[in-house]
Amino acid sequence: MKSGKVNYHSVHSIDEAITLSQTHEGNVKYIAGGQSLTPMMNLRLIFSEEIIDISKIQELKQSYFFQGRFFIGAAVTHAMIEDGKVNDPTNGYLQYVAQGIAYRGVRNKGTIGGSIVNADPAADWPTALLALGASVMIKDLTNDIETPIGHFQCGLMQTTLKESDLVKGVLVPDLSKDAKWSYVKFCHKVGEFAHSIAAIVIDPNLGIFNAALGAAGDKPILLPRLSEYLKSVNISNNDFEIELNDILERDLLENINHLPSSYEFNLHRSIIKKAVMEALIK
């Protein structure tokens, strides 16, 4: 299938993009890499009469340290992160996530901003950034707005973006040298969307203890009991495995809609447990 007829516009600044969007009220979409939007339009799952190409906006391709955190522009591609063309303040975490996204052709064009705006619960960046405690920088008609990514995605392919709002980029923490992380996902074949994603980020110096689960519902979630447990976990404790299994069981029962006897429940439990072990033994 192919999308319906659209009008294409190319812009060179954020203000130009937002102003143009205002002149075409409703059915306006921004496009950068097009790896999410184009297939959705071709399948007639998204309809848009006006397409505004923001890939030429240089401000959206920038990355830099900002007030103790690191800003990554929305139009930065997965490949740029994978290839080290963007500084990685997360001790290799961002680079590791990027290199596992789909195929190289997709990574060459797909952008970090496009991924989080598409808000697919089985995509990599929403879960990976949630575990980091990242924030989304949004430009509306008058202001820059910072929104925690956990609040930004509010449901299945739904975000808090209003008409004409444009994602400028994401802010991620500058992890300390003592930080530990792991990122584990399960796919039936290379390149497809994951059936389960687990991301663990631990940085005592920054007070980050996050365990995130993706591809298990309408949006990625933080597992509260496990995240709290990571603050004081002792892997050498004789009761460690019993404690971990109990905490995982309760977290999953309270946060996903699968029976404990189901394949999905046990898949998510296995993936999370593997991620916890990988993070703690680093």
pLDDT in tens, 82-105: 999 999 999 999 999 999 999 999
Residue 263: both structure tokens together: 């394949």
Tell me: pLDDT of 45 over 70. no
Q: What percent of the chain has pLDDT over 70?
A: 96
Average pLDDT, the chain: 93
Tell me: pLDDT of 19 over 70. yes
pLDDT at site 50: 86
The model's confidence at residue 1, banded by pLDDT at 50, 70 and 90, is: low
Tell me which residue has tokens 């699968």. Answer: 258
Alpha carbon distance 167, 189 (integer Å): 31
Segment 191-216 mean pLDDT = 96
Alpha carbon distance 70, 1 (integer Å): 40
What domains lie within the chain, and their CATH numbers?
7-53 (3.30.43.10), 58-173 (3.30.465.10), 185-280 (3.30.390.50)
Alpha carbon distance 168, 194 (integer Å): 26
Residue 220: both structure tokens together: 């990625």
Query: Is 77:109 a contact under the CB 8 Å cutoff?
Result: yes
Pick from 29-38, 137-146, 182-191, 206-215 the range whose average pLDDT is largest: 206-215
Tell me: pLDDT of 24 over 90. no
Edge-to-edge strand ranges of the sheet holding 7-10: 7-10, 50-53, 28-31
pLDDT at site 228: 98
Tell me: pLDDT of 46 over 80. no
Residue 247: both structure tokens together: 């905490």
Residue 171's Cβ-count burial label (10 Å; 0-12, 13-18, 19+) is: buried
pLDDT at site 124: 98
Tell me: pLDDT of 48 over 80. no
Report the length, in residues, of the chain.
282
Tell me: pLDDT of 5 over 80. no
Alpha carbon distance 261, 156 (integer Å): 25
Q: What is the pLDDT of residues 131-190, one digit of tens each?
A: 999 999 999 988 999 999 999 999 999 999 998 899 999 999 999 999 999 999 999 988
Alpha carbon distance 218, 215 (integer Å): 8
